[in-house]
Amino acid sequence: MSAFPTTRLRRLRRTDSLRALVRETALSLDDVVMPLFACPGEGVVRPVEGLPAIAQRSVDELVREAGALASAGVRAVLLFGIPEEKDDEGSGAWDADGIVQRALRALRAEAPGLTLLTDVCLCEYTDHGHCGVLEGDTVANDETIELLARTAVSHVEAGADAVCPSDMMDGRVGAIREVLPETPIVSYAAKYASAFYGPFREVAESTPAFGDRRGYQMDPANVREALRECALDLDEGADVVMVKPALPYLDVIRTVRERFDCPVWAYQVSGEYAMVRAAVAAGHLEEPRAALETLTAIKRAGAGTIVTYWAGDLARWL
């Protein structure tokens, strides 16, 4: 490359159109998935203090929200459920008339153009808040994966296009693949025991009754372990691997992208969203610019698709 003054990199920064012509990373509504939270009742829209503009919604209101998202150009949603009752094994997760199953059937009928993904985990359904059945104070891995596979089957039977196991049990992708040979599996392959999940646990009502999830979610200090997790899940039949959270783990996203020739997703989690929203409320940041910058960073790191609470807003901003 020639040196200054022959080389002047500012030449291509002069106008919006010039900058757009040489932009290396672009965001699209094809690249985002909106999380939605289904709850019992009718006509229910229950805002969540820790997640501004996000709410638990009854199925009728969820259908209305999903229709608005689809009309705005959002193409995919990720469903979570808050059941009417919880028990020690999370049986509401695979109930054919469970909250997610009812939401799937309604969305399939009323918003046929949306791609419907479901979170497959037991934490919202267990009375102790952990992601599987317990043996004493420990989550029992092998017993749990049987229930996760049963849950995934019930989601597909109700209309899910893809299932997304997020529990971090060993072998759960293989167990699901065995019973669902044709269904896409989006694996939360590298899900870290993060401090950034707090607002989500409020909206999903899934705070553990004791202890924490460090016995099954990943240590934030580890990268090579994330590669092993992704490799194992792909060997077991995952179609997509996901890194969660996103912004604190951009290096992990980049490393996974460089290592594996498969779709790589990232989940921009509740704490990431809530931090920016809090700074906006305090007058420190401008929301569209800050949100778009974070999403661009995640895409630039290598994520092809981003699960984000800004998916609906992105439709306006773009």
**So which residues are the catalytic ones?**
191, 244
Beta bridge partners of 46: 56
Tokens of 109: 């009928």
Please work out, in degrees rounded to the nearest 5, the angle formed at the alpha carbon of residue 307 by the alpha carbons of 292 and 293.
Answer: 15
What does the CA dihedral 84, 88, 92, 95 come to, rounded to 10 degrees? -140
Distance CA 162, CA 263 (A): 14
**Cα gap 152→161, rounded to integer Å:** 11
Count CB atoms within 10 A of the CB of residue 40: 15
Phi first, then psi: what are they for 265, rounded to 5°?
Answer: -110, 165
* CA quadruple 234, 175, 200, 244: dihedral, nearest 10: -10
Q: Encoding tokens for residue 217? A: 């979610």
- HEC profile of 181-236: CCCCEEEEEEEECCHHHHHHHHHHCCCCCCCCCCCCCECCCCCHHHHHHHHHHHHH
Supply the DSSP symbol for 124. T
CA distances (Å), origin 128, targets 116, 193, 209: 28, 18, 5
Query: Using CA atoms, how far apart are residues 311 and 318, in angstroms rounded to an integer?
Result: 11
* Closest C-alpha among 26, 114, 109 to residue 75: 114
